[in-house]
Amino acid sequence: MQYIVQKEAKIAVLCGGMSSEREVSLRSGKNVHAALQRLGYKNAQIVDVTPDIMDDLKGFDYAYNTLHGKYGEDGCIQGILEILKIPYTGCGVMASAICMNKEYTKRILSTVKEIPLIKSVFVKKGEDVKKAVEGLKYPLITKPVSEGSSFGMTKVNKPEELEQAYNEAVKFNDDVLIEEFIDGFFVTVGVLHDENGKAFATEILEIRTKTEWYDFDAKYTKGLSEFVVPATGLSKAATEKVKSIAVKAHETAGCSGVSRVDFMIKDDEPYFLEINTNPGMTDTSDLPAQAKVMGIDYDTLVLMILNSVGLNK
């Protein structure tokens, strides 16, 4: 069962932080804080996360986590909150750590045959990247293994472009995931929990971009992406399949409270990309748009996530 967080509770809205996604997180935190104020949680405060976070959290009853990326989405802040015995929103330590690493997420999900994965290789620091990709077909996508918001990602159309793309990825992480490029379209589906704690999928959001693929600019610049929700590019059967896989992936990875699962669609077949354990809550973010078409407005979405604080135990 979900918590019912009392209106007088002192809530730390964690945002900012020390990752490359700091600016996006600040926007999420500002929006969530405003929603909590409208909902009557007058003791909610924005806390910009720094190395002094353990001292800064003294006296708070709950933490609403709107951090993105390193330290906020990878199990680190979750571990601190566990030590401080402060209930918090979103996924727990284990699921956060697993899902932040795209390679280990795929390894966990590979145990479930219903979840379709894209062919890929995992290149560790010092390994020969050209040799590693010999079994893959171009074009490719190079990705830092533990980064969000498309930072360090590059589409590689031919072998001559591989080294430069790899070098861009290792600016963010020592290890790199390289996948075959799926020439289809991008969809994403949120996973939330109802009042009984049962996971359910939101409507699917299809993203049509004016860029070559769904990169950082397309994600966070108004006008570069068009949200189509509910998605229109899938058959009814594919729609139900995507929703089912999203919930299955969420549960298999041990997620709780909220997540967002991304897919590429080609020939009406979904291919899993990744799980985001702390989806953005900005004006241009996917999850609020997905919830809205289900009749869940922004403030109600914030309240649902807040009252899921007990699910990550």
- Tell me which of 25, 120, 149, 307 is the catalytic residue: 149
pLDDT at 212: 67
* 59 plus 203 within the same structural domain: no
* 284 plus 301 within the same structural domain: yes
d(CA 277, CA 284): 18
* 201 plus 291 within the same structural domain: yes
* 147 plus 235 within the same structural domain: no
Q: Is 59 a catalytic residue?
A: no
Last residue of a domain, one of 51, 73, 90: 90
Residue 207's pLDDT band (cuts 50, 70, 90): confident
Asked if the structure places residue 5 within a domain, the reply is: no
d(CA 261, CA 205): 11
d(CA 192, CA 2): 12
Asked if the structure places residue 64 within a domain, the reply is: yes
CATH code assigned at 277? 3.30.470.20
* 228 plus 291 within the same structural domain: yes
pLDDT at 215: 67
Q: Is the pLDDT of residue 313 over 90?
A: no
Q: Is the pLDDT of residue 69 over 60?
A: yes
Last residue of a domain, one of 52, 73, 90: 90
d(CA 186, CA 265): 6
Q: Is 220 a catalytic residue?
A: yes
Q: Is 197 a catalytic residue?
A: no
Asked if the structure places residue 215 within a domain, the reply is: yes
* 64 plus 110 within the same structural domain: no
d(CA 44, CA 46): 7
Q: Is 183 a catalytic residue?
A: no
Owning domain of residue 46: 11-90
CATH code assigned at 137? 3.30.1490.20
Asked if the structure places residue 4 within a domain, the reply is: no
- Tell me which of 25, 274, 285, 308 is the catalytic residue: 274
* 201 plus 296 within the same structural domain: yes
Q: Is 65 a catalytic residue?
A: no
Helix (H) or strand (E) holding 207: strand 199-209
* 103 plus 233 within the same structural domain: yes
Nearest to 176 by CA among 213, 216, 130: 130
Asked if the structure places residue 144 within a domain, the reply is: yes
* 62 plus 155 within the same structural domain: no
pLDDT at 287: 95
Residue 284's pLDDT band (cuts 50, 70, 90): confident
What pTM was computed for the model?
A: 0.90
* 59 plus 196 within the same structural domain: no
* 109 plus 129 within the same structural domain: no
pLDDT at 255: 97
Question: How many domains, the chain?
Answer: 3
- Tell me which of 92, 215, 260, 298 is the catalytic residue: 260
Residue 2's pLDDT band (cuts 50, 70, 90): low
- Tell me which of 74, 103, 203, 262 is the catalytic residue: 262
Q: What is the mean pLDDT of residues 22-37?
A: 96
CATH code assigned at 53? 3.40.50.20
Asked if the structure places residue 2 within a domain, the reply is: no
Q: Is the pLDDT of residue 217 over 80?
A: no
- Tell me which of 25, 259, 276, 285 is the catalytic residue: 276
- Tell me which of 280, 286, 298, 312 is the catalytic residue: 280
Kindly report the average pLDDT of the chain as a whole number. 92
Asked if the structure places residue 109 within a domain, the reply is: yes
Q: What is the pLDDT of residues 230-281, one digit of tens each?
A: 999 999 999 999 999 999 999 999 999 999 999 999 999 999 999 999 999 9
Q: Is 262 a catalytic residue?
A: yes
Q: Which of 2-11, 105-114, 153-162 has the lowest mean pLDDT?
A: 2-11
Q: What is the dihedral of CA 170, 16, 274, 286, to 10 degrees?
A: -130
Asked if the structure places residue 260 within a domain, the reply is: yes
d(CA 222, CA 284): 7
Query: How many CA atoms, within 13 angstroms, populate the side-chain half-sphere of residue 185?
Result: 18
Q: What is the mean pLDDT of residues 129-148?
A: 91
- Tell me which of 17, 21, 69, 215 is the catalytic residue: 21
* 107 plus 246 within the same structural domain: yes
